[in-house]
Structure 1
Amino acid sequence: MNRSGSDVSASDQPLSAQLAVSDFALFELPQRFAQNRAELDARWKDLQREAHPDKFASQGTAAQRVAMQWSVRINEAYQRLKDPLRRAAYLCELGGAPIQAENNTAMPSTFLMQQMSWREDLDDAKDLSALEALHDTVTQAHREGLQRCEHCIDEANDLSQAAQEVRALMFIERFARDIEQRLDALDPN
């Protein structure tokens, strides 16, 4: 039995079947939020070596094309798994709790009040120290949101609450980018 909990590893399956499996099965990782980044990176490199189109040069253009598709699939899965927010959203989707960020923007009133307060703080911030302090606050809120996602997904198995956390984190990440743009504008370098 492999690390993903199945008897057959993804790499033992035909290539077409490998393209259709979940990212976790493809990487032979447990389907959970907490992941070891070094293990994920190492597995990505191994999969890329296996799928490199040059390995299939002697098998013709069709084999190379399939290898290229496999390589693209591996890279897409890697990008999704290495990013904690995208990984949380993916786990919610897999578990039947779609994020639906474009349709579902309802948030708890306390979260909305916090967002309004942060926006006011950003508007009022006139110097680098005020922006850095706000950035630190938002970074801490992001960290705490990821911890809540991990708890909801890996411990409580509450994917609907995890989806709510993911939507909140999407707002927080967008706001953090706004702060970073302001910081960049103030930075003379």
Structure 2
Amino acid sequence: MANPSASEDYFRFFGVEQQFNIDLAALDQAYLAIQKQVHPDRHARGSDTEQRLAMQMTTFANTAFQTLKHPIQRGLYLCQLHGVDAHLETNTAMPAAFLMKQMAWRESLEESEHDFAALEALTEEVNASKKETLAEIGQAIDGAKNYHRAAELLRGLLFIDKFALELDDAISALA
């Protein structure tokens, strides 16, 4: 059992292409195969060093898997690998058109908080925007290799995801 080096990226660790649009089924299979090899229970009778290494490998595998499994985290990780920091904590600047869309969604949510059909329609609109943004991120990363544009789109996707959760909460409150 080898210890992953600090320079080994998550994609290489699982043997999947270093791209935004990945085969999630292949990722799942690679993760399960690695977990079978490195799970601490398999090394319970091993030396302290083997047990510690198994725990480190399991932790690395879990972190890598969670990062690659989720599109936003995968995109941010790809940007980071290519030297682009999205500055999520400090850079909240967004294009005016995106901000206008966000304001319109919020207004629609407030106006429709007791109207299930209107909330469902808004959900469809938000989901379509999320799908479109994911496609744009895929194009920016996999096609154009424009990691600065991808970081901007990923910041927008974080806003969309947060709003989608608020929308889900509003719908749940009606049930």
If the length of structure 2 is used for normalisation, what is the TM-score? Answer: 0.95
Residue 99 of structure 1: aligned partner? 86
Question: Percent identity of the aligned residues?
Answer: 38
Instruction: Tell me whether 1:145 sits opposite 2:145 in the alignment.
Output: no
Q: For residues 127 and 65 of structure 1, what CA distance do their matches in structure 2 show?
A: 55
Shift, 1:16, TM fit: 4.5
Q: For residues 54 and 89 of structure 1, what CA distance do their matches in structure 2 show?
A: 32
Q: For residues 181 and 63 of structure 1, what CA distance do their matches in structure 2 show?
A: 46
Q: 2:118 aligns with which of 130, 136, 139?
A: 130
**Partner AA of 1:64 in structure 2:** Q
Structure 1 spans left out of the alignment, 5+ residues? 1-10
* SS class of match (2:45): helix
Q: For residues 185 and 66 of structure 1, what CA distance do their matches in structure 2 show?
A: 47
**Partner AA of 2:32 in structure 1:** K
The total of aligned residue pairs comes to 174
CA displacement, residues 162-181 of structure 1 (integer Å, 9 cap, x when unaligned): 00000000000000000001
**Partner AA of 2:60 in structure 1:** R
Segment drifting more, 27-36 vs 48-57: 48-57
Q: 1:168 aligns with which of 147, 152, 156?
A: 156
Q: For residues 136 and 89 of structure 2, what CA distance do their matches in structure 1 show?
A: 22
Shift, 1:57, TM fit: 2.6
Residue 59 of structure 1: aligned partner? 46
Q: For residues 99 and 41 of structure 2, what CA distance do their matches in structure 1 show?
A: 52
Shift, 1:23, TM fit: 0.7
Residue 85 of structure 1: aligned partner? 72
Instruction: Tell me whether 1:44 sits opposite 2:44 in the alignment.
Output: no
Segment drifting more, 25-34 vs 174-183: 25-34
Change in Cα spacing, 1:33 to 1:42, as seen in structure 2 (3 Å) is same
If the length of structure 1 is used for normalisation, what is the TM-score? Answer: 0.88
Shift, 1:63, TM fit: 1.4
Alignment RMSD, CA only? Answer: 1.3
Shift, 1:61, TM fit: 2.6
Shift, 1:55, TM fit: 2.3
CA displacement, residues 49-88 of structure 1 (integer Å, 9 cap, x when unaligned): 1111122233223311220121011011111111111111
Instruction: Tell me whether 1:70 sits opposite 2:57 in the alignment.
Output: yes
**Partner AA of 2:173 in structure 1:** A
* SS class of match (1:15): coil
Whose relative contact order is higher, 1 or 2, with alpha carbons under 8 Å and at least 6 apart?
2
Segment drifting more, 53-62 vs 66-75: 53-62
After the TM superposition, which segments of 4 or more aligned residues of structure 1 sit over 4 Å from their partners? none
Residue 5 of structure 1: aligned partner? none
Q: For residues 104 and 48 of structure 2, what CA distance do their matches in structure 1 show?
A: 57
